[in-house]
Copies of this chain bind each other. A is one copy, B any other.
């Protein structure tokens, strides 16, 4: 896979991506059925799986185990995309794939609609070869200039360029970390007290889930929530910054699915206001029913999750 190919993937966008997704899935199924996986390692993995009666051979293959054993991919391969997006696309609007995450870009607000990541113990593990200090925030040239956010939009705005896919979640390779610095992956966040504090605590919490669960899927994005004013009416109000009018979301969300070795799923959903949050505020008070985020964002999360495998939502049995 060369750079030209990647650039082509970026351009083709959402339609092509979903085709890839289904294509990759179909290919995977075919390989499984024929027992003709590419590498010796993968073939061994397949036989290991066949010997496990509980493994759902004819369902989607567990993504993380493959990620562990295959080489680190520096481009967004169809296989890696199908791993990240295993449980469905929240929407298909202006989808962009990067080396280790996938997002939908909101061309009106110049921030993402959603960003999807698949974390494993190895993808979040400390890696001396990866240095986020060497990464530069950069505009994504694959976005039409009319809709492209720029570093200048954030400059002296008073807001941080807040990562949606956190840099610390992508430590397998420098390129993975670098890709998280595309401005398509950013939204303006309050810095002190939020991005560098409460929001960071939430990101660390998600990473820690990989100590218990081999696969953690997380979808992150902005919200623009209404509030009632003195006239009794509800309004949505948010600041926009820079010459490109980049939206400053009122809130941010994370919807997380943690997958255990036996395929059981636990879901958690959080909404945090984009404002200073006291350090002693427990993360739990930001938990909300996943449905409330879906309604506010206009998105459907994890719609491919088999509901019989979902055992907990926000820590409560379902």
Which chain B residues border A224 with CB–CB below 8 Å? 108
Complex alpha-carbon distance, A240 and B224, angstroms: 11
Partner of A297, one of B18, B93, B108, B233: B108
A interface residues, how many (CB within 8 angstroms): 35
24 contacts between A and B (CB under 8 A): A15-B15, A15-B92, A91-B93, A91-B94, A92-B93, A93-B93, A93-B94, A108-B298, A144-B300, A146-B300, A147-B295, A226-B245, A233-B239, A234-B241, A234-B245, A235-B238, A235-B239, A235-B240, A236-B236, A236-B237, A236-B238, A236-B240, A236-B247, A237-B237
**Interface SS, A side:** mixed
A136 adjacent to chain B (CB < 8 Å): no
A279 adjacent to chain B (CB < 8 Å): no
Closest to A113 in B: B108
A294 adjacent to chain B (CB < 8 Å): yes
Asked, given contacts A15-B18, A245-B226, whether A298 binds B234 with beta carbons under 8 Å apart, the answer is: no
Asked, given contacts A15-B15, A92-B92, A93-B91, whether A299 binds B107 with beta carbons under 8 Å apart, the answer is: yes
A291 adjacent to chain B (CB < 8 Å): yes
As for how many copies of this chain the complex holds, the number is 2
Binary interface encoding of chain A residues 264-302 relative to chain B, with 1 for a CB under 8 A from any of its CBs, else 0: 000000000000000000000000000100111111100
Smallest beta-carbon distance A300→chain B, Å = 7
Complex alpha-carbon distance, A92 and B241, angstroms: 27
Interface residues of A in 204-247 (CB under 8 A from B): 224, 226, 233-241, 245, 247
A106 adjacent to chain B (CB < 8 Å): yes
Is A146 in contact with B294, judged by CB distance below 8 angstroms?
yes
Which chain B residues border A236 with CB–CB below 8 Å? 236-238, 240, 245, 247
Beyond the given A14-B92, A146-B294, please list 15 additional residue pairs across the A-B interface where CB-CB is below 8 A.
Answer: A91-B94, A106-B298, A226-B240, A226-B245, A233-B239, A234-B239, A234-B240, A234-B241, A234-B245, A235-B240, A236-B237, A236-B238, A236-B240, A237-B237, A237-B238
Smallest beta-carbon distance A76→chain B, Å = 19
Complex alpha-carbon distance, A241 and B295, angstroms: 14
Complex alpha-carbon distance, A212 and B115, angstroms: 48
Closest to A145 in B: B295
Binary interface encoding of chain A residues 1-15 relative to chain B, with 1 for a CB under 8 A from any of its CBs, else 0: 000000000000011
Smallest beta-carbon distance A203→chain B, Å = 24
Which chain B residues border A247 with CB–CB below 8 Å? 236
Smallest beta-carbon distance A75→chain B, Å = 23
Which chain B residues border A144 with CB–CB below 8 Å? 300
Is B234 in contact with A235, judged by CB distance below 8 angstroms?
no
Which chain B residues border A18 with CB–CB below 8 Å? 15
